Structure 1
Amino acid sequence: MTLEHSQYFRTPKPRPIQPPKLHHATFMTMDVDAMVAWYELAVGLQPVYYAAHAAWLTNDEANHRIALLRIPGTHPPIDKPHSAGLHHTAFEYPTFDQWLDNYVRLRDADVRPVVCLDHGMTMSMYYADPDGNGVEIQIDVFGDGGLSKEWMWASQEFAEDQVGPQFDPESLVVARAAGLSPEEIHRRAYAGEYPPAQLRTVMTFDDPWPSRIASDPSLLDGVGYPATEEA
């Protein structure tokens, strides 16, 4: 069997004359309230419109960045960590201190990252929302999208390893308190000098649904359809 590449493989990539920007992501959920509360805590997304069946959230000038829909017929996912589909959304802080301060704030609220990775162009902490969707909170270590893009394209390091080493975020907090600069902390993290106590299977999030269903078997019935009035 001969593998045929797509039309975009090593060929000029046709694009719209004026490419659009990514605006928002939409999730189907069975619990709008839990998702709204988590995203407001984790990344400051606040509802512009909020109802039992849906919510639209934003944390900037856009009318919404994430939408949550509780559509009739929605049912729990099966083997979510290994199902095809959206893996995670990502949010970026402009400075290292803001990024690390956010980790401390969430840690103190007992919200902890699943895995932390220094990808080389970003330092990233990955969380899981109540439905088991991944949420990356990152800092661009170059502080410049053009430079980080060039590093991804041209560096031998990224060609050899697109994931990077895991790091312990508490070690970063200690290093900053000791006076190390963000650049030095990144250098050491990328060199693997801040490993977590226990390495994790990279980029796989835990599945919250088996325990949720065990606690509430009615979830298997899915979101019900509204009752209709008979004439």
Structure 2
Amino acid sequence: MPAKVPADTSVGHIHLKVTDLDRAIAFYGDVLGFTLTQRYGDQAAFLSAGGYHHHIGLNTWHSRGAGPAPERAAGLYHVAFLFPDRASLGAALNRVLAHGTPLDGAADHGVSEAVYFSDPDGNGIELYRDRPEADWPRDPDGTLAMVNQPLDVDALRAEGAA
């Protein structure tokens, strides 16, 4: 019988290799809004939301001064940060765009709304919010029917500015 993880299992944190620790701290802190919880000189830092010990680890142990990972290689495609509601997602999107970070994409997946971009080291990032499970699209037999439709980015931004 295949092993199964408990249903309430979640991803605890990510740890990213970055080339410039100060630049990465500024991006994840000032732009995305995470709080620096601990720093180890110019080698590593940890950031969180809501007082947790860390959601994001950043390090330069093997990457200081290196270029971004090749696009066509195995590795992290993107990390996704789940926001509690549409207004907070819109506010985060407004900060990203005000920083001058271009979007790589935006989508309405039926179950969620998401925006995609890259951090200064080329790591893919998704910011998203889930819709209530009762609103998720389903096929007639009840199976999940996710979609990939255009997202009204202007409306999301307006909600985040309110």
TM-score range, shorter chain: 0.7 to 0.9
1:62 pairs with 32, 37, 52, which one? 52
1:105 pairs with 78, 86, 95, which one? 95
1:102-137 superposed Cα distances (whole Å, 9 cap, x missing partner): 323333333342211111111001121001111111
1:166 pairs with 111, 125, 150, which one? 150
3-state secondary structure, aligned to 1:82: coil
Structure whose CA Rg is larger: 1
More deviation in 27-36 or 94-103? 94-103
- Is contact 1:121-1:151 (8 Å) kept? no
How does the TM-score come out when normalised to structure 1?
0.57
Aligned residue runs from structure 1 range 39-58, under 5 A = 39-50=28-39, 51-58=41-48
Q: Which amino acid aligns with 1:43?
A: L
Match of 1:137 in 2: 127
Aligned residue runs from structure 1 range 16-55, under 5 A = 20-50=9-39, 51-55=41-45
- Is contact 2:68-2:122 (8 Å) kept? no
Structure 2, unaligned runs of 5 or more: none
More strand by share: 2
Q: Which amino acid aligns with 2:21?
A: V
Q: Which amino acid aligns with 1:86?
A: L
How many angstroms apart in 1 are the aligned matches of 2:63 and 2:3?
38
How does the TM-score come out when normalised to structure 2?
0.78
How many angstroms apart in 2 are the aligned matches of 1:73 and 1:136?
22
Identity, % of aligned positions: 23
Q: Which amino acid aligns with 1:76?
A: G
Number of residue-to-residue matches in the alignment: 155
Note closer, same or farther for the CA distance 1:15–1:171 as it changes in structure 2 (3 Å cut): closer
1:19-43 superposed Cα distances (whole Å, 9 cap, x missing partner): 7532111111221111111011232
Q: Which amino acid aligns with 1:118?
A: D
> CA shift at 1:82, angstroms?
1.8
> CA shift at 1:58, angstroms?
0.9
- Is contact 2:82-2:130 (8 Å) kept? yes
- What value does the CA root-mean-square deviation take over the aligned residues? 2.9
Match of 1:76 in 2: 67
Q: Which amino acid aligns with 2:32?
A: V
More helix by share: 1
Question: Do residues 125 (structure 1) and 106 (structure 2) align?
Answer: no
